[in-house]
Chain A
Amino acid sequence: MNIIVCIKQVPDTETKITIAQSGLDIDRSNISYIVNPYDENAVEEALRIKERLDKGAITVISMGPARVTEALRSCLAMGVDKAIHLKDESFEESDSYGTALILYEAIKKIPYDIILCGRQAMDDDNGAVAIQLAELLNLPHVSLINKIEIDETYCKATVHRKTEDNIEIIECKLPAVFTCHYGLNQPRYASLPGIMKARQKPFQEIDSDSLGLNKKEIGKAGSKLQVIKMEIPSARRAGKILEGEPQDVVKELTRLLREEAGVI
């Protein structure tokens, strides 16, 4: 069983975000990066599948600049077998389709049975790349899974997909792409031996030319969307603090909710 996990390195969700001088991106000068939390769920699930089946190989793959090495290394330290870093200046500013195309060119050349991704990246909050990758690879996909069982004999997976109100139990033929929801598992921390071992594991860098990509289709040149402005939404202003005896405060609150806010 060959499992591929696609990850993205994103700004730490605790980081304070400010806008760059260009007004078209965030200021990246003082940002610490992490592996996208949902992608960590995907890595963890890949490890668990491999442990359950007691065989297989896991490859983690990510597109991005030099700093992404660190994110890939941390996945190797968690127990992943091999890392692929898709790194090329021409990849920068790709939209979701461009990113999916780059991943597709890399992944179609290697064996896979299951491709796991996070449900969305916590920076651009798009949730599109994994599903678009499935389309390009002509694979079925199921998004938002919080449980997965593999049936090797019949080459299928049974997954639970968590929607707004239901859980859908879905059977999906393999190979397939799944996007992982928070709640699927609790990602493990890398152990010290894991970190030591990570240094010896295969780590491959691949650029645009070796993927045979048309540079007009990827990066900024290929992007079908253009950011024209980025801004911090005007902060909500703190409103009234109601003071006094609990009885009176509650009366005043219900009055305000009805008369001033008009919400009840």
Chain B
Amino acid sequence: MNKPVLAIAEQREGTLRRITFEVIGEARRLADKLNTELNVTILGFNISSLADILRFHSPDKVLVADSKILENYNSEAYINTLTDVVSKIEPSIVLLGATSIGKDVAPRLAARLKTNLISECISLDINDTLLTAVRPIYGGKTRATVTSNTPKYQIATLRQNIFKPSIENSSKTAILEKIDTEILPENLRVQIKEIIPPPKTVVNLTEARIIVSGGRGMKAPENFKMLEELANILGGALGVSRPVVDAGWVGHEHHVGLTGKIVTPELYIACGISGAIQHQAGMSTSKCIVAINKDPDAPIFKIADYGIVGDLFTIVPLLTEELKKMLRKK
């Protein structure tokens, strides 16, 4: 039998991230294709309830590393633990989320195992036993299809919001296995001193299903309240383009674009955003794009599914009202 596929789950502050299920869903598909087992591993502290959730997502085995030292992501503690897990089960494929954790640990893991790494994949397949992947490059202007040269330890990170998440399946439960960690805090060269949450509760942009974004056309920082209200009605998050960040109107954590966040929501509403190539690099893979702009020649209209040429200061409040009515009826 082929070596197993390993999916690395991701939890933060005791909550499983959505990407975990996307990674497991894809790992299951590849494991079935290779006719092999799916193993899932999770690292953290006091995570038995999370491990229990994972058992019902169709893996054959869940490997749990539960230790105080793994409570928050620490690059050194994580890399050492993951190296132990990978050396133990010798997976043919290792999948992680392309998140600030996955993209931090995967390159190091690949270098330690002297194997390959395919980052930010948007589609995966298997050719014989070799992993083939499609990944956007040049800020999304190009796509490369790459293939691995070795069937051992093929590591890939998956872009968020692209892969179909696994669904709970209570008929099949996996066995749990404990992974011991013998890392001493004093041996870690990297120590987390403090974790500062964002100023107020903002929806994580990369996980958001709906994003309402504003650009230079919003004219002033106070006008973003209007977009926040629209985002709230839709249960979405606020995004902005780079000029807004540069002007200091809204914080960088909301920045969508080449140097900000790459997002793939189901609905992206761009208000007063012209759609420069750098902004498009961050959002052009959204499933549905709405553009509201007074300039009919704005490039954003070339990629929008629905466009409204007009004054956003008239349109947005009307849209908020209309959606309020519609969603209330539902």
Partners in one complex: yes
Q: In the bound complex, how far is the Cα of B115 from the Cα of A97, in angstroms?
A: 8
Residue-wise, chain A 235-258 has the 8 Å CB interface mask toward B (1 for contact) of 110111111001101110110111
Which residues of B have CB within 8 Å of A229?
144-145
- A183: nearest residue on chain B (CB-CB)? B252
User: What is the distance, in angstroms, from B31's C-beta to the closest C-beta of chain A?
Assistant: 22
Which residues of B have CB within 8 Å of A14?
277
B243, CB-defined interface residue at 8 Å? no
How extensive is the interface on chain A, given as a class? 35 or more
User: What is the distance, in angstroms, from B73's C-beta to the closest C-beta of chain A?
Assistant: 8
A182, CB-defined interface residue at 8 Å? yes
User: What is the distance, in angstroms, from B195's C-beta to the closest C-beta of chain A?
Assistant: 5
User: What is the distance, in angstroms, from B18's C-beta to the closest C-beta of chain A?
Assistant: 11
Apart from the given pairs A165-B253, A251-B322, 15 other A-B contacts in the complex at a CB distance below 8 Å: A13-B139, A17-B138, A26-B138, A95-B116, A127-B103, A131-B111, A166-B196, A167-B196, A182-B260, A228-B147, A229-B145, A235-B303, A250-B318, A257-B267, A264-B326
Given contacts A163-B100, A165-B197, A239-B306, contact A125 B189 (CB under 8 A): no
Which residues of A have CB within 8 Å of B108?
131-132, 134-135, 141
| Chain B residues bordering chain A, tally (CB within 8 A) | 90
Which residues of B have CB within 8 Å of A191?
none
Evaluate contact between B116 and A225: CB separation under 8 angstroms.
Answer: yes
A34, CB-defined interface residue at 8 Å? no
User: What is the distance, in angstroms, from A249's C-beta to the closest C-beta of chain B?
Assistant: 6
A64, CB-defined interface residue at 8 Å? no
A32, CB-defined interface residue at 8 Å? no
Residue-wise, chain A 139-168 has the 8 Å CB interface mask toward B (1 for contact) of 011111000000000000010011111111
Which residues of A have CB within 8 Å of B253?
162, 165
- B202: nearest residue on chain A (CB-CB)? A165
| Residues in B180-223 with C-beta less than 8 Å from chain A | 189-198, 202, 204-207, 210
Evaluate contact between A165 and B322: CB separation under 8 angstroms.
Answer: no
Given contacts A26-B138, A135-B112, contact A168 B149 (CB under 8 A): no
A53, CB-defined interface residue at 8 Å? no
Evaluate contact between A223 and B149: CB separation under 8 angstroms.
Answer: yes
Evaluate contact between A225 and B118: CB separation under 8 angstroms.
Answer: yes
A9, CB-defined interface residue at 8 Å? no
Which residues of B have CB within 8 Å of A161?
100
Evaluate contact between A167 and B195: CB separation under 8 angstroms.
Answer: yes
| Residues in A1-52 with C-beta less than 8 Å from chain B | 11, 13-14, 17, 19, 26, 37-38
| Partner-contacting stretch, out of A82-90, A171-179, A193-201, A207-215 | A171-179
Which residues of B have CB within 8 Å of A126?
107, 117, 119
A170 partner, pick from B150, B190, B202, beta carbons under 8 A = B190
Q: In the bound complex, how far is the Cα of B195 from the Cα of A169, in angstroms?
A: 6
Evaluate contact between B192 and A169: CB separation under 8 angstroms.
Answer: yes
